[in-house]
Structure 1
């Protein structure tokens, strides 16, 4: 980084010099040309030049080595261009320089559509009106132009005259009409002939482009064109000062811009390196897993199966879940992962765990996708969603089917089987670390499946103790040893604790507790349901269920007693998931002994 900073001034100087050289070279090579003895440069341009060389409204043409300018009234030869005075000298192209002729183009007063303005004063130029009269006009001001035409002045059809040196058309005879209005250099001859006027016409006249940028054409010009026009309208000496200022400012600006570009490049490089590192780690992991069953999809496949992410099923900290359909017409759920944590470790966790297991009560990973920063997981579609919908305070809503305590017990039993399989049924023990109702999904027959292995860890079966750098999971379900290291080592007993809290929540979700608890709860906001139930059991009382069905009372008592054993503060006092499963499958009579109070 220090080396790059040290080189910034040199790089800025090089960039500025190169830019200036390129601009100078570009103007000299592409934007300066000649036609005959006329040098053409900005703001003029020859037809066919690059657009930035000049203003297209000031376009010139080179024909037979003569420079032509086309105005609204016609075409004119360019005799000279003064870039200091901002003037251009023109002569009517219809005039024949070898023999007397009259012009065919009219020079009119300033027109908003014309980028030029007339330099029109009576001391330098004089108006010349060429008239077509139906009757002869006897006046010394009227000059017969028949010597310069093929029409005789005695023709009964036309009488052609030139009216020279008048300020306006007030002296034009009523039988005459103006055919052409032109300009000629002034001269002091009392009775000039048409040949005298013709010589003055061949001297041409001057137009100025100095004011065109302030005319109505200005609204059509770009900001850059206005600046360029302003620059070239300055006298040459001032232009040198501006060039010096531009060069100095350009040098400073060039260094600043180059520094910003270098800084942006460093940021982009680090960002890309970080993502490349994450991508490499994921690819290395995938290549090392030869026994993965899921299919690898492309991101375009993911978009196609979800109909461009049309139907969203849910959203959380991990990302969004969308409903999709495979080519086999099978519905799937597609989890589109959000911003990856720990360089894609959450993605690796999901694929490493769900990709190697197959159990009726563990979510099946159908496929996955990883393309750069885009990562997705494809797994079984669970029509009934997550268990938390049936345990919340809105469980009685018409949108959710109330689950009986017997059905909840059946779900708990199958969840326990799934967790027990994770702990000992694979070649590696898989610790979930986030067992909660939200991560228990239900299929169309309410068969539960443990899902979401974003924080799961894989350990050898023989490892009874695992290491974690930080507590993982959801508050309320996290085992206390993940916070308090003095309680004991972290092991598979952390999932046992979370399952115990899940059992208590399943029992507590039923709205059939007796009024005694309801009254006590209304009078004491700090009443904790599990503690209240434990106190009743410790006094030898029942749990106060309104429903007197013996079977459901036994089920509730069994679930509560098992949960109290699971949520013991010290991990060593908790059973394993295999023992939990056995307790749930056995009779409640074998669980009559109340475990130690599990609450702090």
Structure 2
């Protein structure tokens, strides 16, 4: 009974009414946005940022451009649909919290149901849309009127004609598996579906229609124009006469954002009062019990960075990569006993899973790394499966405690083998032939990232430190913290800031006057890596001295050696070794041409590596200079370049 009279508890109960009275109304309530109505269509709630032209004023709409919904009568049912590209798509559901929408081909899901042998429609182009394919989707490639089907594809009997076949395969294959070789087809159509539906209907030969009927999931993001409007508690819209408008909760419209008025001020005061009440309640709660980790966690303020990761982890949870608790991370690393290495964004420790498998655990330093690096790594490498890409086995996210669990690579990074500075006879030097095999493996891994994944992946940090070697010295590309995902339909990637490591960054990453950032940017980094593997030293040697830095960009050195009649390197002893060295050197020089369209694509690099030495021509000598450190340096470099480049 004395506990009930505790003065802290008494204060808690006195403050509770204040907390609930001061809570603001939900901002998504349409009452506060008279120009942004919500409505129901066939059991699907349609509201901002989606809109219906039949209900909203004809001169303007409240929502994102391209997000117009239609509600059609189909017998006794109302059917919600959205137009993407030139076609209608049936809207199955909308999740406003996770910002995703499940859509399906309108003809297949509504008109042609039940499905026998539906036609296949090409995937949509989302390049200029705020919508993106979610990670729960995957592409199917249909090939029609072929002279046969390769082993990795499935024949579709209902599309077959006399003497010709039609086939389908899942587009998560390696380069070798997607090479159709002798099989020629008259048409290829790529369309997007849900991964789960492929598991539900595994027999694509007869059940592909059910997979198509299930549709695919899209995610949306806030458009640049809308950021300022939504931050002011407004809703983005469009007036057909004046263009973009911001609709405010008081029923007025503005050109950019909602200005503070008395109503907004009162709302802010209510929010402030509610937050103050909540803080007081939490303080009282913590004083009533010993300070614990749970109490501390309840007082922690989640940053935008942490919220972004939390949303991402929630969405990513349906995929195969396992999420570990931080206690699991400590247990598998034996409290971080064996340290394997140190990187710019954290430390790597040796660990062991309960089943006995060895792992490498990368513990991120959250004082240096941001949430985007964590998201980049999990989102990109988590969707890959290739012999030359390191496997992500799991991750841990507990706000400030973040870790990534990888397969263990017993031979460490490539860096220690090409920068060991030891004689050729030493066991630490793996020889030029093995380096050539490693170079070929890295190229195959990059080719998979550029062409084999559903979404293209730019690594943007290819260097020896990020190439790991297993027990058989098979190379695996690692560290996707700077990676960039982009659509297969895009050729140029937009970037707001340069990323990468000095000595390996392509010129266009620093300055758009060299060209757009694309898969050719990874090719440049790969070329610098090739030359470094051949030369056995870093591509930028910084001399020390007071007040000056002497940098030797070593491709200039190796280019001179290429034209000599004797062996290219002092370390090679046979003609075979010299051929490997010369081939890697010539290809590396092609890859580091300053203008992207002068470089080969990575699949062309593979052909050059696998081809004969006689077919290779020495490329024109590029202008060698240190990676630019400032805009002024970039400009002066450009002005000094000859017109031929």
Distance 1:533 1:314, change over 3 A: closer
Look up the match of 2:505. Answer: 478
Look up the match of 1:551. Answer: 576
Q: Deviations over 1:429-483 (max 9, x none)?
A: 0000100000000111111100000111110011111111111111001111112
Q: 1:550-589 residue pairs with structure 2 within 5 A? A: 550-589=575-614
**2:325 is the alignment partner of 1:293:** no
The alignment partner of 1:339 has SS state of: coil
Look up the match of 2:557. Answer: 532
Distance 1:396 1:328, change over 3 A: farther
Deviation at 1:269, TM superposition (A): 12
Look up the match of 1:318. Answer: 345
Look up the match of 2:529. Answer: 502
Q: 1:206-355 residue pairs with structure 2 within 5 A? A: 272-275=300-303, 277-289=304-316, 292-339=319-366, 343-355=370-382
Distance in 2 (alpha carbons) for counterparts of 1:313 and 1:305? 14
**Which of 474, 495, 498 is the equivalent residue of 1:447?**
474
Distance in 2 (alpha carbons) for counterparts of 1:593 and 1:555? 15
The alignment partner of 1:375 has SS state of: strand
Look up the match of 2:101. Answer: none
Checking the alignment, whether the CA contact within 8 Å between 2:345 and 2:365 is kept in structure 1 is yes
Q: Deviations over 1:383-432 (max 9, x none)?
A: 11101111114455999621100000000000010011011100000000
Distance 1:441 1:395, change over 3 A: farther
The alignment partner of 1:441 has SS state of: strand
Distance 1:309 1:397, change over 3 A: farther
**Which of 455, 458, 463 is the equivalent residue of 1:428?**
455
Distance 1:412 1:397, change over 3 A: closer
The alignment partner of 1:430 has SS state of: strand
Checking the alignment, whether the CA contact within 8 Å between 1:368 and 1:377 is kept in structure 2 is yes
The alignment partner of 1:583 has SS state of: helix
**Which of 456, 461, 464 is the equivalent residue of 2:491?**
464
The alignment partner of 1:458 has SS state of: strand
Q: Deviations over 1:4-42 (max 9, x none)?
A: xxxxxxxxxxxxxx9xxxxxxxxxxxxxxxxxxxxxxxx
Q: Which runs of 4+ in 1 moved over 6 A?
A: 268-271, 397-400
The alignment partner of 1:465 has SS state of: coil
**2:415 is the alignment partner of 1:388:** yes
Distance in 1 (alpha carbons) for counterparts of 2:425 and 2:396? 37
Look up the match of 2:615. Answer: 590
Distance in 2 (alpha carbons) for counterparts of 1:491 and 1:484? 13
TM-score (normalizing by structure 2): 0.47
Q: Deviations over 1:198-231 (max 9, x none)?
A: xxxxxxxxxxxxxxxxxxxxxxxxxxxxxxxxxx
Distance 1:399 1:536, change over 3 A: closer
Look up the match of 2:401. Answer: 374
Distance in 1 (alpha carbons) for counterparts of 2:455 and 2:444? 17
Distance in 2 (alpha carbons) for counterparts of 1:477 and 1:304? 37
Deviation at 1:528, TM superposition (A): 5.0
Which is helix-richer, 1 or 2? 1
TM-score (normalizing by structure 1): 0.50
Checking the alignment, whether the CA contact within 8 Å between 2:458 and 2:519 is kept in structure 1 is yes
